[in-house]
Structure formats: structure tokens, C-alpha cells
Amino acid sequence: MQSIKKNFFEFFGLPISFDVDVESLSEKYHELQKEFHPDASSLETEIEKMRSVQFTSFVNEAYNTLKSPIKRAEYFLTTQGFDTENVSQSELDMDLLLEQMQLREKLAELPKDDSAMPALENLKQDVKQKLLIQQSSFADDARSENYKSAKKTFHELQFLYKLLSEIEENEERRLEY
Amino acid sequence: MALLQISEPGKKSTNPKVKLAVGIDLGTTNSLISSGYLGDVEIFPDLSGQVLLPSVVQYRQDAQPIVGEKAKMEVLADPENTVISIKRLMGLSASESQNLPQFEQYTFDTSRGDESPVIITRAGRKDPIQISADILSGLLARIHTAIDEDIEGAVITVPAYFNDAQRQQTKEAAKLIGLPVLRLINEPTAAAVAYGLDSNEDGNTIVFDLGGGTFDVSLLCLKRGVFEVLATGGDTSLGGDDFDYVLSDWMSERVFDRGQATLKERGKLIAYANSVKHELTLHNSVSLSFNGWRGTFDSVEFAKICEPYIKRMINACRRVLRDASLSKEEIDNIVLVGGSTRMPIIRKAVESFFEKPPLTDIDPDKVVAMGAGLQAEVLVGNKSASDFLLLDVNPLSLGIETMGELVEKIIPRNTTIPVAKAQEFTTFKDGQTSMVIHVVQGERELVSDCRSLAKFELGGIPQMVAGAAKIRVTFQVDADGLLSVVAEELSTQKMSEIQVKPSFGLSANAVEEILSSSHQNAKLDLDLRALREAQIEAKQLIDAIKAAKEDDGDLLEESDGGRIESLVHQLSEKIPNGTSVEIREMTELLNQITSDFAASRMDRYVGQALKGEAIDEID
């Protein structure tokens, strides 16, 4: 696995860009899997099998990264030399933080039984809407090579994804699953 | 089909390149075997044309065990030597097994504790692996009477929620009779393969698999001949049997009025409830008669008393949809698997949730074995992987224990396998030279609530200050879903490695508990986690300051020594009973006022470390 030096974009024969056509990515992924998956090589030696496991692990990782907009955004910034794990307060918009807090308060104030389900659904749609807007603004920033702004948008996306998963956790708890 | 195979025993394939591969559905109640050797993949029946082999084994003195229908007829006459439902004991320990009520008729070796269970029969000691092996032999006999050829290998299906121990034991059962296992695949996945290849239409398929004792639901996407499992979920403590129990309870209230039913009467009532359930698949209303009591029961009433169970099944569907980020409108096909899905109330519930009628053209009893047979064809090379390829996922999250008995997830559930993921960890104390890697499986945040898979130690870490060593832990899950873990200290490249093979697993209920409690306790976990983390951080800081004071007390005096000492004291007192916020605030403060001290210490440390070493050696 260590021997694969290419980055994920190059690996799939794509330009290093946030704009990825997920449908054609998935097509390439399937082609690679059909060729290299351990099932396709049931007759080879143990060493070849092991290599195939390592290689398809890499293929899976690369595909899962590029398929998901948030992971792809992060990976894209890393290829541009940005450290996505650290963020300072000054990089973020005050308005955005306030809005996040308000959304979180809304979530906390909802009733604890399943009467909150419609409200949770509304909140979820609201957050998803915001995610789409931020995603397209990240794409714009990335295209115009405005990486500083892209990094800020990425951290905003992170907040929204976190919030989305909290809303979903809330849903599950109310479904008594 | 049945006629084709039994009329011409000893047949060989006309194409010499075709290999004999089989698909096996090793079920709790019934087992089946299929093969595509003679053309299309078909189920192989016994000589009388029966396709289902009851998963029952009767042990006899000085004679081969009897497997299947004949053994099933001996269950009442010879209960202690006739083993049923052995699949439920796979992966369990002896102490867990002997306490299960449905196994009370057997004599267990009570000295085995945490080891695998052993049932003492008149033919000797038998464990779940041997008993399963006998069922497999019964299935293989069907192939041997029809085909004169060695079996190249088998694909055996397991419930999606089988853990590593249960999967390993299934493989060992095959090994015991010399049957090579090409692959273990998940039952719902096998069912989807059977349907997908049958229709050959691209799209998203939900597989709703309700067996006697377990419930699995999986979401697969078929595109360009590739089956991608997008998410899998379920409930291992929910099954068709529950409907018998709930109906017998309903009748018990009416039949026995306030009087208590005896154990025997209750057994009879459950059997009666089972027959009523079957009648309700054909008729809307049934007249009841038991011990002189008479009444009627209809499907509306039945749906009412079963509602809590149906709700749980539908919630499992919602969750799988969510894990796959799909809406129910995006589901193209619904496949029903398992005899219990014949119940009209289940069909109705599924249809009304997905707003689409389920597919029922393949017999729900056969569909899993059919899919396994198809996958076996690919794995021996009779069919090419470019015709169809299966990409499965790991059903439960895998992680390791970190400080404070918390779990750090390394591979989340529903990740496509094979997969390799690495994460870096560091030492917690100054001069720490070894690290214990504890591998766990489950969705909860605390180690004690997850299942422990393995524990091993990485030694020989060079002495460094806390947090300086870098240990990379890599998890690798292969295409069979089996895990191996490697830990490596990056500066010395010292490695330690383990293949996870636990001696026994969780009970079925325990797997369910992992999943359900994961959500009920999510909030509790988070609060507790926050507190633990705050406590650990505080302790680490105090330890670090104390150690630093011993080494570099002179530097401490230069900084604000007295103030630091008093804060250390206050914080130590706060740790056991303060809230996470209080502890965190004080830690933060202490951290700030010691930052000068830390900086001058680091300068000194780096200065010393650089002495006598060439620059290129340290970067």
C-alpha cells in the first residue's frame, strides 16, 4: 500500500480539483474493483492475494474520500498544503458561529419524545440546504484558487456536518432504536 | 429441477473446465445447499425431493449421527442426544450456553466456563463446531449422490451481525470435514445477489430478512454488475418466534383467566400460537380452541399486538437508509427473506413504509442458498468477476482503547472491505516504554460496553517525554471480514502484530445490546466522556508539572513557582468530584500560567538533544 505514491485524484486519473463527477468516479471505481478485488484473483498465490487486499483497501479509501464532499474538500486542501486539523478563531466568521449556536439551542430545546420528529426533520432540511450552499461556495473558492477563503468555508462545512449528525443522533434516540 | 439431479446420479459436467463449487445456507432451523455445476445454480434436494434439511443432529452409540428430517422426528423421544438450533450457540462461551432455556434438555460440561460449550451425548462430547460440521456433512451427501466430482470449495452464509468469533467457528466447522471455504458472505447480501442476477436490473435493493430468531436488513446498490453493500443493520433479538410468544401471551390471559399456566401448558400454547400464526397467512380470521376455551382471532387484532415489534423492524430500515444517505423513494426493489416474511402483517408493514410492493418471486427459504451458489461460481472461476462482483461492508465499528477506558473508532461500521486504516497515538507518561493495544468492536464510547477482541503489547518504545513518541496503529480487514492489527513505533520502527481470533464471542443478545444501548446512552456517554477527558487532561498536566519540577526545578523558580504549586493543589482536589467544565477551566488556567515554564524547558531539552547529533539525523 505504501508503494502507491499517487494522490487520490491522480490515482483515479482526475485533475486535482474539487469538482468531481461522482457518477464517472464510481464507474472507474467499479472497473478497478473488477480487476483487482481479491475475488477476481482467486487462483493467484498468497502474496498476490495479499497485494490485492492492500491495493483494494487503497482503492476503497481513495473512493470514499473523493465520493464524500466534506472528505474531498479536506483532502483537496491537504493537497494544496493546508493543515486542515488546526483552525483558529480568527479564521471563522462571527456571524456563522452565532448562527451555529442558535441552531444548537433550537435542537436542545426540542421536546424529548417523538413529538419532536417533524421539527427535527425541518431542522435537518434547513441544515442540508445550508450545506449545499456552502459546498458550492467551496467549489467557487477552489476554482478561483482563493484557498484561504476555501479553508474558511471548509471549517464551516465541518460545523454543519457535525450539527447534521447530532440531529440524526437525536432522531435515533427518539425512535428508541 | 429436483428431477434432473436425482434421475442421473454420478453425473459429470459436459464442460471439463467447470469446477464443482457449492453455496451453503447453514441455518438455525433449516439448511440448504446449491450448486451451478450442472448449468444454472439450483438447490440440491435429498432423494425424496426435500430441499430443506432440518438443522438437527441425533447422536447414536457406535453409529454415524443422523442428520435432518429423521433426526427431527427424534427430538421428543430422545431430547438429550438430539441437538437443535446449534447455530445459536456459535461463538458463545460454555457458561452463557448452559443457562439458555431452549438448551436446558442437554447435559453440558459445566467445567468449561469461558471456553466453548460442550454437550455430552451418548456418542461422546460434542461442541458447536462438530455439530455444525455434521450438518454440513448431511448437506454434502446430497451433492455426492448427484455428482461424481471433488468439491473445489464452498461459500457459506452467515447472519450480517455475526461477529468475528462466530465467523471463525463457522469456518472451522467446514475445515473439520475438509471442505475448503471460499468465502463467508452475509445472508441478506446473498439474497440480493440471487435477485439482482435474476433480474439483471441496476438499482437500490433493500433486503428484509426475518428469520426465526434474528432480523437483518441490508441496503445494496447494483450497478454495472457490481453489488455494493451500502449499509447493513438489524436486531439479533427479534425474530418470527417473538410473534408466537406475543400471541401465546394474548391467549394465555384469556384461557387461564387469572390462574397460572404450567410450564407444559405454556409450551403447548406456544406451539398452538405458532399454528394460528401460520393459519393467519392464509385466512383473515381464525377460530381458536384450547383446553375447552373458545374464541376468534383476526389479522387486525394480530397486527395490533405485534405493533411494537413491527415498529422496531421499520426503525431498523430507517436507520439503514440513513447510514446509506438514501431516502425511501430511492429504493427500487424490496426483497423478503426468511419464512417469517410470509406473514401478511409483515408484508403489509413493509409495503406501506416503502410505498412499494416487495418482490416475492424467489422462494424466501431458498433465496440465500441461491445467492451463495452464485458467489461460489465466481470464486472458483466458473463465472468471471467482471460479470458480477460483491463489495461488502464491516457491520460493527472497530476501534482501540484509549486513556480513561474510552474507545477511539478506527474503522466505522458500514465501511467497504477490504479496508486498511491507520491512526497515530502517543505515550501518556514521561519515559513510557510500552503500550497496550486493546482492540474492541461495538458502537459505544466506553470500552466496558464494547466487545473485547484482542489485547497485545508494543514494547521497546524509546524513553521520551509524554506525547513525543508516535505509535501508528493500522487496522486491516480482509474480504472475509477478518481483522488484523499492527502497531508500530515510528522512530524505531519497532512493530507488533496480531491477527484477531477471539476464543468466544458475544451472545446474540449482546450484539443487539451494543447497538441499541449505543443510542439510548449516547447523551450519557458524551457527558461521561467529557468528564473523563477533562479528568485525564488535568491529571496529565499535573503529572507533567511534577515530573518537570524534579528535572528542572530551577526553571520553575524562574517562572511563577508559588502560584503554580497552589493551582496544582486546587486542581488535584477538584478532579474526583468537579464537573467537566470546572476541571477544564482550571486545567486551562494552569496550562496558561505554566506555558513559560514549558517553553524554557523545551528550549533546554532541544538544546541537550541536539548536542552531539548531526542535524540530518533528527529531521
Give pLDDT tens digits for B520-562: 444 455 667 677 777 877 887 887 787 777 777 777 776 677 7
B326 and B219 Cβ atoms separated by less than 8 Å: yes
B375 in a domain, yes or no?
A: no
Same structural domain for residues B246 and B331? yes
B95: which 3 cell numbers? 457458561
Question: Of B520, B551, B573, which one is at a domain's C-terminal end?
Answer: B520
Model confidence at A53, pLDDT cuts 50, 70, 90, reads: confident
Same structural domain for residues B544 and B516? no
**CA A9/CA B123 separation, integer angstroms:** 62
- B522 part of contact set with chain A, CB < 8 Å: yes
**CA B395/CA B187 separation, integer angstroms:** 13
Residue B143 distance to chain A (closest CA, Å): 23
Parallel/antiparallel/unpaired status of strands B203-210 and B419-425: unpaired
Q: Which of residues 37-76 of A touch B (CB under 8 A)?
A: 37-40, 42-43, 53-54, 56-58, 60-61, 63-64
Q: Which of residues 213-232 of B touch A (CB under 8 A)?
A: 223-226
DSSP B43: E
Question: Of B520, B546, B567, which one is at a domain's C-terminal end?
Answer: B520
Same structural domain for residues B355 and B406? no
Same structural domain for residues B323 and B286? yes
Whole-model pTM above 0.80? no
Question: Of B362, B379, B406, which one is at a domain's C-terminal end?
Answer: B362
Number of independent structural domains in chain B: 4
- DSSP states along A93-155: -HHHHHHHHHHHHHHHHS-SSGGGHHHHHHHHHHHHHHHHHHHHHHHHHHHTT-HHHHHHHHH
B370 in a domain, yes or no?
A: no
Same structural domain for residues B229 and B298? yes
**CA B345/CA B314 separation, integer angstroms:** 13
pLDDT above 60: residue B32: yes
Same structural domain for residues A62 and A93? no
Residue B154, φ and ψ in degrees, nearest 5: -130, 150
Same structural domain for residues A49 and A107? no
CB < 8 Å to B390, chain A: 39
Q: Between A33, A42, A60, which is nearest B226 by CB? A: A33
**Cα Rg of chain A (Å, integer):** 20
Q: Measured at the alpha carbon of residue A22, what is the angle toward residues B477 and A121, in degrees to the nearest 5? A: 85
For residue B1, what are the contacts with CB-CB under 8 A and spacing of at least 6?
B42, B43
- B358 part of contact set with chain A, CB < 8 Å: no
CATH of the domain at A52: 1.10.287.110
Same structural domain for residues A103 and A161? yes
**CA A167/CA A127 separation, integer angstroms:** 9
- DSSP states along B254-273: HHSTTSPPPHHHHHHHHHHH
- B479 part of contact set with chain A, CB < 8 Å: yes
Domain that holds residue A43: 8-67
CB pairs < 8 Å spanning A and B: 87
A2 in a domain, yes or no?
A: no
Same structural domain for residues A170 and A102? yes
Residue A176 pLDDT: 60
**CA B583/CA B530 separation, integer angstroms:** 10
Same structural domain for residues B206 and B329? yes
B30 and B54 Cβ atoms separated by less than 8 Å: yes
Domain that holds residue B34: 1-179
B193 in a domain, yes or no?
A: no
Same structural domain for residues B548 and B516? no
**CA B23/CA B32 separation, integer angstroms:** 8
Same structural domain for residues A61 and A95? no
B378 and B385 Cβ atoms separated by less than 8 Å: yes
Q: What is the pLDDT of residues B254-280, one digit of tens each?
A: 888 656 777 678 778 888 998 999 999
Same structural domain for residues B470 and B559? no
Number of independent structural domains in chain A: 2
CATH of the domain at B571: 1.20.1270.10
**Active-site annotation holder among B19, B72, B87, B574:** B87
**CA B103/CA B66 separation, integer angstroms:** 19
Least confident of A107-116, B162-171, B192-201: B192-201
B68 in a domain, yes or no?
A: yes
Residue B160 pLDDT: 81
Quick check: is B87 catalytic? yes
Residue B5 pLDDT: 34
Find which of B228-232, B394-398, B582-586 is predicted with most confidence, using mean pLDDT.
B228-232
Quick check: is B298 catalytic? no
Mean predicted lDDT score pLDDT of chain A: 86
Asked if the Cβ–Cβ distance from A60 to B415 is below 8 Å, we say yes
DSSP B417: S
Residue B220 pLDDT: 93
Q: Which of residues 365-384 of B touch A (CB under 8 A)?
A: 378-381, 384
Residue B515 distance to chain A (closest CA, Å): 8
Residue B549 pLDDT: 78
A96 in a domain, yes or no?
A: yes
What share of chain A has pLDDT > 90, as a percent?
47
Asked if the Cβ–Cβ distance from B478 to A56 is below 8 Å, we say no
CATH of the domain at B462: 2.60.34.10
Asked if the Cβ–Cβ distance from B418 to A26 is below 8 Å, we say no
B380 in a domain, yes or no?
A: no
B36 or B494: whose pLDDT is higher? B36
Quick check: is B366 catalytic? no
Same structural domain for residues B172 and B218? no
Asked if the Cβ–Cβ distance from B420 to A64 is below 8 Å, we say no
Relative orientation angle of helices B187-199 and B367-379, to the nearest 10 degrees: 80
Count CB-CB contacts under 10 A for residue A86: 7
Parallel/antiparallel/unpaired status of strands B153-158 and B21-26: parallel
- B85 part of contact set with chain A, CB < 8 Å: no
**CA B578/CA A169 separation, integer angstroms:** 28
B581 in a domain, yes or no?
A: yes
B223 in a domain, yes or no?
A: yes
**CA B352/CA B33 separation, integer angstroms:** 34
CA distances from B19 to B54, B138, B498 (A): 28, 21, 35
B543 in a domain, yes or no?
A: yes
Same structural domain for residues B9 and B122? yes
Parallel/antiparallel/unpaired status of strands B435-441 and B451-458: antiparallel
B227 and B387 Cβ atoms separated by less than 8 Å: no
Quick check: is B365 catalytic? no
CATH of the domain at A103: 1.20.1280.20
Same structural domain for residues A47 and A93? no
Residue B375 distance to chain A (closest CA, Å): 9
Same structural domain for residues A19 and A63? yes
Same structural domain for residues A48 and A93? no
Model confidence at B616, pLDDT cuts 50, 70, 90, reads: very low
- DSSP states along B382-395: SS-TTT-EEE-EES
pLDDT above 50: residue B610: no
**Sign of the torsion formed by the C-alpha atoms of B270, B275, B276 and B281:** positive
Model confidence at B138, pLDDT cuts 50, 70, 90, reads: very high
Same structural domain for residues B30 and B104? yes
Same structural domain for residues B10 and B138? yes
CA distances from B536 to B71, B347, B562 (A): 59, 52, 24
Mutation choice for B interface testing from A22, A50, A114, A172 by most B CBs within 10 A? A172
Residue B568 distance to chain A (closest CA, Å): 28
pLDDT above 60: residue B515: no
Asked if the Cβ–Cβ distance from A177 to B316 is below 8 Å, we say yes
ipTM score for this prediction: 0.84
- B476 part of contact set with chain A, CB < 8 Å: yes
CA distances from A157 to B187, B322, B605 (A): 38, 19, 40
A73 in a domain, yes or no?
A: no
**CA B543/CA B549 separation, integer angstroms:** 10
**CA B315/CA B328 separation, integer angstroms:** 12
Model confidence at B12, pLDDT cuts 50, 70, 90, reads: low
**CA A109/CA B520 separation, integer angstroms:** 18
pLDDT above 70: residue B247: yes
Q: Measured at the alpha carbon of residue B456, what is the angle toward residues B453 and B461, in degrees to the nearest 5? A: 145
Q: Between B224, B316, B389, which is nearest A37 by CB? A: B389
Asked if the Cβ–Cβ distance from B522 to A173 is below 8 Å, we say yes
Q: What is the pLDDT of residues B424-468, one digit of tens each?
A: 888 888 888 888 889 888 888 888 888 777 787 887 788 888 888
